[in-house]
Structure 1
């Protein structure tokens, strides 16, 4: 990076306006030309700019500490592979301090990208991440392939965390084109495969998720990163379940459970038991399914996690027409909903209201279903719109309201098209 770019980067990091930095030194338009590399400032102007930025004058003589960068990269690899939050926090602090103490480090962009990626693993860093991303976007044209790789990965992860799954998968899959003629290290590719598998899985692109996660799994197995391998097996099992190879999914989850047991870890037990329950439910092994769901429930006391399992147990009892137990778990769910975070409270309340309406045979179900569909449509949760529009249509047909039932069967079909992002009939072929 040249002197102008480094001045610009440091000014933005300090959230300083061009007008303020230039005041009494040069006109803002001249500073803009300096920052864009169109002119080289005189030594006098350089010194005045550095002084206002509170940067030591000898910072310009910094040739970069390649050994330090190599050290940071080595630790960065370890943190990303292990997903250890404590290590992430420690490395983030070290990188942050180094950046502050070496504002004109030639490898500044690489360090800034690294710092931002580490922030994603830490709580309460949203504002800092936003600030860093705004700076990095300004320097995209100056970035090399490796820096662009990490910037795009960060943007994909953020989109995924914000439930913008289509944007996440598009951003992440585009990275493979970006690095087509560039050799990233195996651990970097494994992380990309892993993150992309999560994004496409959330978008219901299960075959693609299987391809990506198998690539990640191969690396994690080779490096004996056991917990990462278990995470991959869980993704693989979920994708297999959704593609209809249920018995293969059961074997995958059982394998993950066996590995987890051998390392005496309970970290994944709740998720594994829940998914095994879901598989056995699809195989009509209802008794076995309920055992796994109950095991999952016994592993956690977090309401936001337990509500998922309680809803699933309610579904299982309702599916087998065990109304007494279905009502019992409905009431448990409605009580637990009150303890959830605000966002989850509304989301799960709408799910439980569907079952309350059905199980208690509420008379004013039409307005209830309309309200539920409006909520899920507003939040673009088309999967649930499709499901509950079908439930609504079936209920209307049972009450001999055939005309309205037909309307909602058509509505359900339209929701399914939205879920699949299909805009014309030709795309159905």
Structure 2
């Protein structure tokens, strides 16, 4: 990076306005020209700018350790492959401290991108991620292919975490276009396939999700990254559930369970048992479904994770019209809501409000459904928009409210088109 870009990056990191930095040194427009590389500041102006930024005057003359960035990248690969949060936190702190002590490191932009990617692995870092992304966006035009790869990956993961699945897939698609001019390492390709498969799965694009996760799984198996392989098997099994190959999904989850037992790890057992329950549920084997759901619930400790399975048990009883047990599990879900993180609370509050309306036989359920549909549409979860439109339409038809029923059947059809990524009726052929 040039001197002007480094000044701009440090100014933004300190959340300092151009007017403040330029005050008494030069006019803001001249500082803008410096930051955009249009002029090179004199030594006198450089000195005053560094002083205002509280940067030692010898920073520009300090020797640059060219091996440092290579060392950071090597450790970064290990952290991403292992998904080890403790190592991620330690490396993020090392990079942050290095940036602080070497504000004019030529590779500073790359290091900031790596640091931001590591922050994504750490809890309660939303503000830092948002601040870093705002800074990085200012330098997008100056980024090379490697830096854009990091940026799009970060933006895609952030979008995915915010339930903006279509936007996440768009960022990952940009990466696949980008890598035509950038040779990625095998581990980077595996990570890209992995995160892309998650996004595609959330968009109900199951076939492509299966292809991508199998590519990631191949690399993780080859490198003996056992836990990452288990993660891939879980994604693969979920995609197989959604494509209706249930015997294959059960075999996939049983394989993940077997591997987990061999390495004596219980980290993924709750999720594996839950998805075995989901597979048997669709097969119509209620006894096996409830057995695995209960196993999952006994293993899980996090309220967010527990409620996922509680809702599945609620659905299982509601499906067979066991109203008494369905109400019991509805109450268990409602009692747990306050313990959830905000994101999960909104999601499951919408689900539970619908089941509460159905189980308590409320007369006017349309407002409740409309509120839930607005939430799911806002997060672009068109699958549940479609499902609940069908539920509401059928309930209205049963009550002979045919006009309203027709409206929601039509609305559900429109959501199904969005779910299938169909924009024109000709595409239905």
Q: TM-score, normalised by structure 1?
A: 0.94
Aligned pairs for 1:245-284 (under 5 A) are 245-284=245-284
Tell me whether 1:414 sits opposite 2:428 in the alignment.
Answer: no
Report SS of the residue matched to 2:51.
helix
1:48 positional shift: 2.1
Aligned pairs for 1:80-99 (under 5 A) are 80-99=80-99
Alpha carbons 2:204, 2:419 under 8 Å: kept: no
Can you give the 5+ residue segments of structure 2 that lack an aligned partner in the other structure?
none
Match of 1:226 in 2: 226
Match of 2:396 in 1: 396
State the distance in 2 between where 1:150 and 1:259 align.
32
CA RMSD after TM alignment: 2.0
State the distance in 2 between where 1:269 and 1:352 align.
25
Match of 2:340 in 1: 340
C-alpha distance 107-343 of structure 1, shift in aligned 2 (>3 A): closer
C-alpha distance 251-383 of structure 1, shift in aligned 2 (>3 A): same
Alpha carbons 1:34, 1:41 under 8 Å: kept: yes
Tell me whether 1:77 sits opposite 2:74 in the alignment.
Answer: no
State the distance in 2 between where 1:365 and 1:48 align.
67
Match of 1:128 in 2: 128
State the distance in 2 between where 1:39 and 1:395 align.
70
State the distance in 2 between where 1:338 and 1:123 align.
19
State the distance in 2 between where 1:235 and 1:283 align.
19
Match of 2:137 in 1: 137
1:203 positional shift: 0.8
Match of 1:109 in 2: 109
Alpha carbons 1:113, 1:151 under 8 Å: kept: yes
Can you give the 5+ residue segments of structure 1 that lack an aligned partner in the other structure?
none
1:380 positional shift: 4.4
Deviations for 1:155-175, whole angstroms, at most 9, x for unmatched residues? 111111111100001101210
7-16 vs 188-197, which moves further: 7-16
1:64 positional shift: 2.4
Q: TM-score, normalised by structure 2?
A: 0.94
Deviations for 1:21-42, whole angstroms, at most 9, x for unmatched residues? 2222222222222222222222
The structure whose RCO (Cα within 8 Å, separation 6+) is larger is 2
C-alpha distance 65-394 of structure 1, shift in aligned 2 (>3 A): same
C-alpha distance 100-25 of structure 1, shift in aligned 2 (>3 A): same
C-alpha distance 267-17 of structure 1, shift in aligned 2 (>3 A): same
Match of 2:148 in 1: 148
C-alpha distance 50-182 of structure 1, shift in aligned 2 (>3 A): same
1:284 positional shift: 1.6
C-alpha distance 64-286 of structure 1, shift in aligned 2 (>3 A): same
State the distance in 2 between where 1:349 and 1:37 align.
52
